[in-house]
Structure formats: C-alpha cells, structure tokens
C-alpha cells in the first residue's frame, strides 16, 4: 500500500519497516516523536503446534520497545477483531509468561495527539 | 489537600521547584501549591502533543515553553494532570535529568497505570487512579473546550452536544 514512510530517528531495525496499515505507521511516528527506540514486528511467537510440531498458530506483535523490553500490539480495529486479538494475547501470555506485551488503543493515540476522534484506517 | 501535606513532609527545608506541564495541569497546580505549607517555587513547561496543530509538521517532539528556572541541584516535581502511556513524562524526565537536578519526581492528579508503555517513571504522588474514561473540567479539555468547569466531569464521546455527566 502507498504509505508515505518518513525517515525514523528511533527505529532500531536494519531494514526499512513495511507497515501493514496507516495505523501502524501512525504508531511508529508517535514512538519516534517521543524518542522511544522501537523495532517493527521483530519476533514471531508460536502459539500452537500440531502433533508433528508444525506451526498451527503464530503471533507477531506489531512493535517492540527495546529500552522497555515491551511488545505492543495495536488495536485500532472493530470489536470482533479485537476479541480475536485478545484471545491471541491470552495464549501468548500463557505460553510465554516472561514476555511483556501491552495493547495500544486508538484512544491512547488520540490522547497523545490531543484529538479525540482520529480518522485512522485500520 | 493530602498530597500537599505529603510533599511538604518529604521536602521540608529543601524548597522544591514545582513544574506544571501545560496546559491541563494549571488548575491542579494552583490548588496543590496552596496546599503545600513549605517554601517552594513554580515554573511551567509545555510540549507540543503529537500531531497537534502546534507541531507545524515537526516529526520530533518540540518544546513550546521551556523552564525559566535553572534546575541544577534543585528538587524538581513535575506536576501532571494525568499520566497514561507515560511517553510525555518520560521525555520531560529525561530532558530535565540532563540539567543535573538533585532529584526529579512527578505528581499527577489522575493516573491510568494500566495504560503505561514506559514503566520506570518517578511517579511519587498520585491523586486518583481512574478508569479508562475521558474527563473535562478542572483544567482538562476536549479540543480546547470545557477547561473552565470547576470540577471534573466524565465525557461520553458517543453522545451529541452537551454530553457531559
């Protein structure tokens, strides 16, 4: 998709990030704006495997904040998809209890932007 | 105000500098200052919020109003209206620490610790932990409106004009 990707200051990856949505790009801009070092989808966690060890379900959180040791996952979308995402998060926490992960809501971005009805495509 | 007495106990004889993070904290700071019965100084700082009209297209955070005071060897207390993700406070604390204060702490009227992205913040005094709702009044605004209301009101964004509790 034709996202206008700026030059990031706090991005710590080697390759330019390839965002899946405008919302992810906005979140990256917020982290960069506040000088929080970040990576985009650096890790894919296996959530479920079949009897042969083949991966049946996996989850790659959107961002990793390197100084905080924290993964963040965006939830700018409709409620049915948020529920699905919450289920994945629950599984991840069960299987990887030491991994820190938090949801970043559209509301968080709106508060930081001092606007209360951001029009963001998810 | 209980917070004022607590701060006075902790900073007796040290004359802390209270730094209001504009704009929403100004009413809280005015009340807090009058509730602290020890000598203290006041200053203000203002950052452009992400994506705000004040940003003028900047991709990096911008200080709209910096401190007037020299904070070297001072005890600095950042006064916040609310702490959510902690991104703004984290920036302020890191910036102030470069100026070699004796200490930097934070006071917030409202706190949503469950929304925090930056955990290691010196939040020493908290008025109220609140649910994930939007408030106006007592300095809090909604697109620059309602700051003047004398107390905090809960907002229902889905409601049409006048949707305040």
Closest alpha carbon within chain A to B118: A68
What's chain B's Rg over C-alpha atoms?
16
The number of angstroms, rounded, from the C-alpha of B2 to the middle of its chain's C-alpha atoms is 17
Residues in chain A with CB shorter than 8 Å from the CB of B60 are: 9, 32-33, 35
- The predicted pLDDT at position A5 comes to 79
**Minimum CA–CA partner of A105 in chain B:** B115
pLDDT digits (tens, 9 = 90+) for B58-97: 577 889 999 999 999 999 999 999 999 999 999 999 999 9
Interface test with B, best of A37, A75, A112, A119 (most B CBs within 10 A): A112
**Token couple for B165:** 């509790």
CB B20 within 8 A of CB B65: no
3 state SS of A102: strand
On whether any CB of chain B is under 8 Å from the CB of A16, the answer is no
pTM for this one?
A: 0.84
Closest CA to A88 of A77, A106, A101: A101
Residues in chain B: 165
The pLDDT score that the predictor gives to residue B147 is 93
* Candidate list B84, B111, B132, B165, residue with the active-site label: B84
B66 a catalytic residue? no
**CB–CB contact A108 B157 (8 Å):** no
List Cβ neighbours of B39 (8 Å cut-off, separation of 6 or more): B15
> CB–CB of A30/B50 below 8 Å?
yes
At A8-61, the pLDDT tens digits run 999 999 998 999 988 899 889 889 989 999 999 999 999 999 999 999 999 999
User: Using a CB-CB distance cutoff of 8 angstroms, which residues of chain B are in contact with residue A9?
Assistant: 59-60
CA distance A34 to chain B (A): 6
HEC states along B56-117?
Answer: CCCCCCCEEECCCCCCCCCEEEEEEEEECCCHHHHHHHHHHHCCCCCEEEEEEEEECHHHCC
Q: Which residues of A99-122 are buried (b: 16+ CB within 10 A; e: fewer)?
A: eebbebebbbbbbbbbbeeeebee
Question: Over the stretch B3-53, which tens digit does the pLDDT of each residue have?
Answer: 999 999 999 999 999 999 999 999 999 999 999 999 999 999 999 877 654
Nearest residue on chain B to A63, alpha-carbon basis: B117
């Amino acid at each position: 998709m034709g996202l206008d990707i700026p030059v990031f200051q706090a991005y710590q990856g080697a390759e330019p990030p390839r965002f899946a949505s405008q919302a992810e790009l906005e979140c990256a801009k917020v982290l960069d704006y506040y000088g929080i070092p970040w990576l985009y989808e650096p890790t894919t966690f296996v959530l479920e495997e079949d009897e042969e060890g083949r991966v049946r379900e996996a989850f790659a959180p959107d961002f990793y904040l390197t100084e905080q040791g924290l993964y963040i996952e965006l939830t700018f979308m409709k409620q049915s998809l948020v529920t699905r995402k919450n289920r994945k998060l629950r599984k991840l926490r069960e299987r990887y209890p030491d991994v820190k992960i938090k949801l970043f809501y559209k509301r968080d971005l709106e508060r930081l932007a001092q606007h209360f009805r951001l029009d963001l495509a998810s | 105000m209980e917070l004022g007495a607590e701060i006075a106990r902790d900073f007796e004889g040290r004359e802390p500098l209270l730094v209001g993070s504009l704009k929403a904290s100004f009413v809280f700071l005015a009340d807090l200052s009058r509730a602290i019965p020890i000598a203290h100084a006041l200053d203000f700082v203002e950052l452009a919020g992400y994506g705000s009209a004040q940003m003028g297209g900047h991709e990096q955070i911008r200080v709209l109003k910096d401190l007037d005071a020299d904070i070297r060897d001072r005890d600095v207390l950042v006064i916040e209206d609310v702490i959510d993700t902690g991104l703004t406070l984290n920036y302020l604390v890191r910036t102030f620490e470069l100026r070699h204060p004796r200490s930097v702490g934070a006071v917030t009227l409202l706190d949503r610790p469950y929304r925090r992205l930056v955990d290691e913040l010196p939040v020493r005094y908290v008025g109220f932990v609140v649910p994930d709702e939007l408030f106006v009044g007592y300095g809090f605004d909604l697109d620059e409106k309602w700051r003047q209301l004398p107390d905090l009101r809960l907002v229902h964004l889905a409601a049409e004009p006048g949707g305040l509790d």
